[in-house]
Amino acid sequence: MIRHQIRLAAAAAACLVLAACSGPTSMEPPSVDVPTPLPSGIDFDPDVETAAPEECNALASYAPGAVTAEQARAQLDDDGRISIGISQSTNLMGYRDPETNALAGFDIDIATAIAEKLLGEGADIRWVPMTSSERVPSLDEDRVDMIVRTMTMTCDRWTEVEFSAEYYHAGQRLLVPKASGITGLADLTAEDLVCTGHGSTSVRTIAEQAESEMVTVPDYNDCLVLLQQGTVDAIAIDDTILAGMAVQDPTLHVVGEAFSDEPYGIAMQLGNTDLARFVNGALEDVIAEGTWQQAYDEWLEGPLAVEAAPPSPQYRD
């Protein structure tokens, strides 16, 4: 700030000296070269996973069976309280409501409903905000009991965590300025720069499917500022997340068909199949009781402009 003021003052002094000999036009404000601020951790040349992905049925989780709430609670770090990894900055899915400062969104409603099946109404929940790439390590390092954070069930991730059955079916799309004329992935050229979140499934999808260059940021929400300031031409990530950004900035819109499948699962520590079975039973109840539909209608139906029903669970045993 002080450096900018010194540069401004020096430029103004130079202008006054010049004004003596070159007339009133030189009294125009000096043009100041202020660099465009960039988010920390931005990567203009991100690594892309090139190894062939694992193969499996990524949707198949563990049948509910007869795991009681008490048995499932014994799997938690502290059996009276559950730690849940979430996003606190993803509008519509997991964000801080500015009026109440409480967490709100579709993922928060699903997580709360599951926690209440496990611990009873008013369950003691410790919310742990995290970025996409912090999800797997936070389970590995025992920092959370489960993660409900727009997390796609992939075969690669099944080697690192246990997933519940699918609780939401998203797909990746593009968010662009309405004035850009871009209507979908096929319109992106090698000149375009697409932003996505480090540690998200979009990195691989964009590398495989788009002509354009890619930039990643640790928190995909920073893509929104980069798009608004014109540093990037589009954002690629799940339609749920993009819909939340479009609500925040009406000069932007979501375009094109979904170019990937992003089935969301609740992630738990590898080997904790008892908790996964209990969560799957709880999820069936949450769906049967209408809580899923209520959450969808409240958060996503309007912004996504489609009616949706909950996914049918698939079990491997």
Binding site for ligand GLU (CB under 6 A): 132, 149-152, 197, 200-202, 237-238, 262
Distance CA 228, CA 296 (A): 28
Q: Which is nearer to ligand GLU, 75 or 240 (CB)?
A: 240
Q: Tell me the closest approach of the beta carbon of residue 170 to ligand GLU, in angstroms.
A: 6
Rg (CA), the chain: 23
- Helices 106-119 and 291-299 meet at what angle, rounded to 10? 160
Q: What angle do the packed helices 273-288 and 106-119 form, to 10 degrees?
A: 110
Amino acid code (one letter) for 269: Q
The Cβ of residue 284 has, within 10 Å, a number of other Cβ atoms equal to 14
Distance CA 135, CA 147 (A): 7
- For residue 260, the minimal CB distance to ligand GLU (Å) is 9
| Residues in contact with 286: Cβ distance below 8 Å, sequence separation at least 6, in sequence order | 110, 113, 114, 117, 292
**Smallest separation, CB 156 to ligand GLU (Å):** 11
Cβ distance to ligand GLU smaller for residue 117 or 149: 149
CA–CA distance, 108 with 106 (Å, rounded to integer): 5
CB 95, min distance to ligand GLU, A: 13
Q: Which is nearer to ligand GLU, 172 or 212 (CB)?
A: 172
CB of 108 to ligand GLU, least distance (A): 14
In order, the DSSP letters of 43-76 are BSS-----SPPP-S-TTEE---TT--HHHHHTTS
Residue carrying structure tokens 């709880």: 282
Least Å distance, CB 248 to ligand GLU, is 17
Nearer to ligand GLU, 233 or 238 (CB): 238
Residue closer to ligand GLU (CB basis): 238 or 274: 238
As measured in angstroms, the least distance from the Cβ of 47 to ligand GLU is: 15
* Token pair in block for residue 40: 């920390």
Of the pair 72, 235, the CB lying nearest ligand GLU is at: 235
- Closest CB to ligand GLU among residues 67, 151: 151
Distance CA 272, CA 253 (A): 40
Minimum distance, C-beta of residue 224 to ligand GLU, in the bound complex (Å): 14
C-beta separation of 210 from 232 below 8 A: no
CA dist 116 and 186 (Å) reads 45
62 vs 168 by CB, closer to ligand GLU: 168
